[in-house]
């Protein structure tokens, strides 16, 4: 099951200054290291690509199995990198633009030294909130079906179902076939922010 | 006691020369940043900012009196009011309010809801002891000093430390009687 999104910011001196695992928590213990590794490997590609275009958003620059690396390079050559496993260019682009905005605000803080680690909890919360909002866009339905694998998702599903006014009147049987659940989830999730909270 | 002084600094603010707010904010930020680098100790920076503010205040009061046309204040209450309504408006472009008077009328709080100095600022963990706007308290102290009032100015609330507003406590220590500077036989 791969519902991953890992976001890092790399300073112009190739030092990571902010890292966040966003999206649904990774199952594998070594996933975090793997993500770092992939992102790190993509830096070289970014270096070459960055000078070939005037656009800040470089789209997906590298991939590893089903994981894709999308990159956004700011004018100061700070790189915002997102590792994700779906393709939704528009969503990711606007996510990058919003984070860029936040990053500029951080840079304007006189007490923040450019190139140092971003420790601000305000920034962290904002980025995670953004990722949650756009999370629906990073994660394809394919990923969501994977979630049905574990029991918790049934609870989630019933919650989602019960929120729908049209379904509320139905007496749902205790055991709803998983397939039905999956279907309901897929149709409903796009509208439901709460699921990722 | 009909106050002849203008009740707000709006008119003066409209006619005074202004600079871009971001330039102002970032310049002040650069000063604080440089002080932090040079002095290393947060406590020292607080002291230095206060001293710088004092030096500004003792000069600023002259400009203030020249441009604002306020007349002599009858008591400290009026003084505080003029600082909050006219002074802050004139030099910072915001208005403060005066609250929490004590019984003797010598101690009050100046509450700033909007503070242009802190527009982009967020205190990182290692500078938690910093009073970022300490220059303001120095300015008030310096200005009052020049009009023969010894005052003590301290921060009660600081929005950078998680409070909702900025609150400065101004405490009048004593009013120095004006002395004729020369002795007769000199």
What does each of the 186 residues of chain B score in pLDDT, given as a tens digit? Answer: 444 555 677 888 888 888 899 999 999 999 999 999 999 899 999 999 999 999 999 999 999 999 888 888 888 999 999 999 999 998 998 999 999 898 888 899 999 988 999 988 988 888 889 999 999 999 999 999 999 899 999 999 998 888 899 999 999 998 887 777 666 665
For residues A187 and B79, which has the higher predicted lDDT (pLDDT)?
B79
Is the CATH number of domain A5-140 1.10.760.10? no
In chain A, what is the straight-line distance between the N-terminal and C-terminal CA atoms, in Å?
19
Q: What one-character-per-residue DSSP string does B12-35 give?
A: HHHHS----HHHHHHHHHHHHHHH
Q: Is A121 exposed, middle or buried (0-12, 13-18, 19+ CB in 10 A)?
A: exposed
Cross-chain residue pair B122–A109, CB shorter than 8 Å: yes
User: Tell me, what's the pLDDT at A197?
Assistant: 43
* A104 to chain B: closest CA residue: B120
User: Which residues in chain B are contacts of A106 at CB distance < 8 A?
Assistant: 122
Residue B43: the pLDDT is: 93
**CB of B29 within 8 Å of any CB in chain A?**
yes
Q: Which of residues 111-130 of A touch B (CB under 8 A)?
A: 111-112, 119-120, 122
What per-residue confidence (pLDDT) applies to A150?
38
Residue of B nearest to A107 (CA): B120
A79: three-class secondary structure by DSSP: strand
Domains for chain B: give ranges and CATH numbers: 20-175 (3.30.1380.20)
Q: Measure B157 CA to nearest chain A CA, in Å.
A: 20
CB within 8 Å: A108 and B33: no
**Do residues B140 and B155 lie in contact, with contact meaning Cβ atoms separated by under 8 Å?**
no
Task: Please tell me the distance in Å from A189's CA to the nearest CA on chain B.
Answer: 36
pLDDT at position A155: 37
Q: Give B146 to chain A, closest Cα distance, Å.
A: 32
CA distance A154 to B41: 56
A110 with B127: Cβ contact below 8 A: no
Q: What is the nearest CA distance from A122 to chain B, expressed in angstroms? A: 9
Give the model's pLDDT for residue B60: 93
More confident residue, A143 or B116: B116
pLDDT interval class at A36 (50, 70, 90): confident
Q: Is the pLDDT of residue A173 over 50?
A: no
Q: Give the containing element (helix H, strand E) for A180.
A: helix A178-189
Nearest to A2 by CA among A67, A59, A82: A67
d(CA A29, CA A5): 15
Distances (CA, A) of A35 to A26, A119, A169: 10, 21, 45
Q: What mean pLDDT is predicted for residues A125-135? A: 84
User: In chain A, positions 76-115, which contact chain B (CB-CB < 8 Å)?
Assistant: 105-106, 108-112
DSSP output for B89-146: HHHHS---EEE---TTS-EEEEEES--GGGTT----GGGTT--TTHHHHHHHHHHHHH
**Domain spans of chain A, in order of start:** 5-140, 148-196
Q: Answer with the residue of higher pLDDT: B186 or A195.
A: B186
Of A127, A107, A152, whose CA–CA distance to A6 is shortest?
A127
| pLDDT higher at A27 or A68 | A68
- Interchain pair A110, B124: CB under 8 A: no
Contacts of B185 by beta carbon, 8 Å cutoff, 6+ apart: none
Closest CB from A105, A108, A111 relative to B123:
A111
Mean pLDDT across the stretch A6-10? 91
């Amino acid at each position: 099951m791969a519902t991953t999104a890992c976001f890092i910011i790399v300073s112009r001196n190739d030092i990571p200054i902010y890292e966040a695992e966003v999206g649904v928590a990774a199952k594998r213990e070594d996933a975090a290291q793997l993500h770092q590794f992939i992102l790190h490997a993509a830096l070289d590609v970014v270096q070459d690509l960055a000078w070939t275009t005037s656009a800040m958003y470089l789209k997906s620059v590298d991939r590893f199995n089903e994981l894709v690396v999308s990159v956004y390079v700011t004018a100061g050559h700070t790189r915002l990198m997102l590792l994700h496993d779906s393709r939704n260019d528009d969503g990711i682009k606007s996510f990058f633009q919003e984070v860029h905005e936040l990053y500029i605000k951080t840079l304007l803080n006189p007490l923040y030294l450019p190139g140092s680690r971003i420790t601000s909890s305000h920034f962290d919360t904002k980025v995670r909130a953004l990722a949650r909002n756009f999370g629906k866009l990073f994660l394809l339905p394919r990923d969501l079906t994977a979630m049905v694998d574990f029991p918790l998702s049934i609870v989630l599903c019933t919650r989602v179902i019960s929120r729908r006014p049209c379904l509320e009147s139905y007496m749902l049987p205790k055991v709803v076939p998983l397939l039905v659940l999956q279907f309901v989830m897929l149709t409903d999730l796009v509208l439901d922010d709460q699921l990722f909270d | 006691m009909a106050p002849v002084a203008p009740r707000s600094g709006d008119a003066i603010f409209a006619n005074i020369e202004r600079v871009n707010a971001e330039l102002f904010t970032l310049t002040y930020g650069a000063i604080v940043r440089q002080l932090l680098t040079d002095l290393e100790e947060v406590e020292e920076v607080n002291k230095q900012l206060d001293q710088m503010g004092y030096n500004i205040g003792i000069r600023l009061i002259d400009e203030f009196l020249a441009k604002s046309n306020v007349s002599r204040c009858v008591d400290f209450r009026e003084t505080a009011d003029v600082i909050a309504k006219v002074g802050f408006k004139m030099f910072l472009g915001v208005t403060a309010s005066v609250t929490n008077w004590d019984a003797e009328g010598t101690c009050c709080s100046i509450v700033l809801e909007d503070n242009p100095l802190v527009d982009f600022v967020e205190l990182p963990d290692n500078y938690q002891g910093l009073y970022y706007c300490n220059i303001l308290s120095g300015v008030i102290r310096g200005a009052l000093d020049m009009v023969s009032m010894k005052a003590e100015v301290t921060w009660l609330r600081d929005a950078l430390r998680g409070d909702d507003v900025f609150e400065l406590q101004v405490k009048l220590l004593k009013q120095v009687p004006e002395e004729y500077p020369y002795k007769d036989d000199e």
